[in-house]
Structure formats: structure tokens, C-alpha cells
Amino acid sequence: MVPVTVGSVDEVGALAGFTVAVTAERRRDEMAALLARRGARVITASTITIGPLADDDALRAATAACIDLAPDLVVATTGFGFRGWLETAEGWGMGDDLRAALGRARILARGPKPCGAIRAAGLTEEWAAATEGSEEILERLLSQGVAGARIAVQEHGEPQTEFIEALRVAGATVVEVPVYRWTLPPDVTAVRRLVDQVVNGQVDAVTFTSAPAVRAFLMIAGARTDAVLARLRTDVMAACVGPVTAGPLVRLDVPVVSPQRFRLGALIKTITDELPRRATSLRVAGCDLEVRGHAVLIDGRLHTLPPASMTILAALAARPGAVVSKDRLAATLPRSSDGHAVDVAVARLRSALGPGQHIETVIKRGYRLRMDDAA
């Protein structure tokens, strides 16, 4: 690979030089396009797939039970699931009866997306959880008292075991409505490749839009889970759409960035703001160097480098001004590398950085960055 000067950040995008992984299935292409538009190199590897239950006897039985129950309360957890439930009921000839049952109930929503689906169906929600979390709904219901209440709960991809049990213990009659299920994708090759890329430091950020996606990613990582978590705790940013999604990582002591508004656009903006702050910025041989994941900014202009040269630069930047031995640099390169491979990578790196003598050779010891402060 020949070093290439691409342009200024204003020209190539704020995320140029960074690699961001998208693990979502729904809205995957939209997320990838938004990140790519900002200059990021994007990897897509959906960790879960959403399976509708339109032909599932469980959903039909739950729909009939909900109609017969004449619920006092209905909990709508996702817009996608609520719409799918009504559409599927229409296909079974149960749409009018279900709509009538829902229309007589008080409807609680887990955030604005189910609110949109509720209103689109000609219904009205009584209240929506500001945190978009089931915990807030449960706290409200229990504080108001549910003894003797008839409640229908639309699930969102997996059984709401603790939520349902708490309502039943409090005296409610509950019907669970399983509209769809999250499962592992039939082919997890792309996810396993992403696991390798995270462990090998080839990814700068991994995005998650649901807690099941996080759990599936770690499940697929298998024996490499500890190595993945080590990276996520240090130099790979975990970006989650909200606190519910972040929960599985937070419980594993992984630092997470999330937007204040739990929306896709806000997540993209958070990544766009945060990743450049994490770049290593140095003043070297009269130039401003900003070392990113797979490229370097030199006085504000992006230069793409061969992978080996980029690895060498990152290793030198991690110890600014210090001499780094050839053996240590060779250990950072892929496969088995020796001093000659280091010399070649450094020569290419010098060519890419220009005539500024950014890298100094220390005879019989190794290389170092020529830091302005040390001059």
C-alpha cells in the first residue's frame, strides 16, 4: 500500500481514519451510511436477528387471551413489535377485536417509538417512560398498585420474566404477548471476524443498539470474551444507544459512551464527537500529528498508511520521545516479524510523514519520535 494524502478533516469527514463496527440488524444500513458519510471505515456484523412470530401458535394464543381478558392495562414496549402485533392480528381476522380491547385499556409505553405506533393505530397512550426502560414502568405500576388488575405485556424480543413475575406477585393477572424473538444469526462468521478485529486492535469503536446484541456478541466471542472485554475496557470504545443497552457491559466494568437522547442520530453524533478526542495528539518535528486508528493527521491533513507503518507509528506515539527497541516494535507487527521488517515499515512511515525528520534512529537501540518538547 502506497501512503496517500487524502485531504483535510473538513474534506474527508470528522471520523476519517477511524474504524467503527455496527452490530445492529435493524437500521444497520442507515447507521453504516451515517458513519461512512462522516469519513469512518465501517464494519457491519449483526450479532442478532429478529424473527417475527406471525405463524407462531404462541402469538395467536396470546392475542386471543388478550381479547378474552379485556385488559385494564396494556404495556407496549417497542413500536416495531406493537405494529407487528396489530398487523398479524388483522391477518388472522382478529384485528377489530384486538383494537377494541386495546382501546378500552390504559396503555403505557416504553418510550416515544411505541407511542408513535400506538397513535398510528388510532389509540392513545396514558403515559410513556422517560428513561425508555421497563424498570420505570414496573416501578410506576407497583407504586400505583396492581392487585386484581388485568395486564397485557407486549414483549420485546425475549421473555420479560422478572417484570412479569413482579406483577403477578403484586396480584395482577398477566398475559404475555411474544411478538418476535431475538436469535443468533444463522451465520456468525462476520461476528467472529469482528471479535478477531477487536482483539487485534483493528477497530476503534463498536456500536450496540440493544442489550441482547451485546449479550450475543460476548456469547459468540466464546473463549475470547476476556480478550474482547480487555480491549473494550481500554482502547476500543463501546458506544450504546442508551442505558438499557449498556447494562450488560456496565455490569462487566466496561466504560460506555451513550447519548443523552436515546436515538440513533444522537448515537452517531456522540461517536463523532468522542472518537477524535481519544486520538493521540503530539507535536513532532514542528508538525501537529494526530494518530488515529488506521491513518494519521499531519497538520490537519489525513494521510493513510500501510498497516505495518501505522502500527509502528502507534507504538512510537504510545511512548512519545522514548526509544522503542526494534524487538519491541517487531512484536507489534502481525505474524513473525524481525528487525528488517521494522526497518522497512519505518522507511515507509518516514516517506509518508514527509521531510520533517519526525522519526529519529538511535543506533543499536531503536527508534523514537523527535518530540518538540524534547528538542
Domain ranges of the chain: 13-48+185-278, 51-182, 280-369
d(CA 14, CA 30): 18
Residue found by looking up cell 467472529 in the block:
192
Q: What is the pTM of this model?
A: 0.78
pLDDT 10s digit of each residue in the chain, 375 long?
444 556 677 677 899 999 999 999 988 999 999 999 999 999 999 999 987 655 578 889 999 999 999 999 999 998 988 998 999 999 999 999 999 999 999 999 998 889 999 999 999 999 999 888 888 999 999 999 999 999 999 988 777 889 999 999 999 999 999 988 788 999 999 999 999 999 988 999 999 998 889 999 999 999 999 999 999 999 999 999 988 889 999 999 999 999 988 788 999 999 999 999 999 999 998 889 999 999 999 888 898 888 888 889 999 999 999 999 999 998 888 766 777 888 888 888 888 887 768 899 998 889 999 998 643
Question: Which pLDDT value is given to residue 125?
Answer: 96
CA-to-CA dists, residue 240 to 23, 67, 206, 311, angstroms:
11, 37, 9, 28
Q: Distance between CA atoms of 238 and 337, rounded to whole angstroms?
A: 31
Q: Residue 278 is placed in which grid cell?
A: 481519544
182 vs 184: CA distance, rounded Å = 7
The answer to whether 13-48+185-278 and 51-182 have equal CATH topology is yes
What's the pLDDT score for residue 304? 86
Q: Which cell is 210 given?
A: 440493544
Question: Strand 237-240 relative to strand 301-304: parallel, antiparallel, unpaired?
Answer: unpaired
Which pLDDT score is estimated for 211? 87
The whole-angstrom separation of Cα 346 and Cα 329 is 10
CB 249 within 8 A of CB 240: yes
The whole-number pLDDT of residue 356 equals: 64
Confidence at residue 210, expressed as pLDDT on a 0 to 100 scale: 87
- In CATH terms, the fold of domain 280-369 is Arc Repressor Mutant, subunit A (1.10.10)
Q: Which CATH number fits domain 13-48+185-278: 3.40.50.720, 3.30.930.10, 3.40.190.10, 3.40.50.10090?
A: 3.40.50.10090
- Using alpha carbons, select from 294, 306, 310 the residue that is nearest to residue 15: 294
Q: Looking at beta carbons, which pairs linking 64-69 to residues 24 or more positions away fall under 8 Å?
A: 64/94, 65/175, 66/98, 66/101, 66/152, 66/175, 66/177, 67/94, 67/97, 67/98, 67/101, 69/101, 69/150, 69/152, 69/173, 69/175
Structure-block grid coordinates of residue 21: 463496527
Statement: 51-182 belongs to CATH 3.30.360.10: no
Res 128: pLDDT: 94
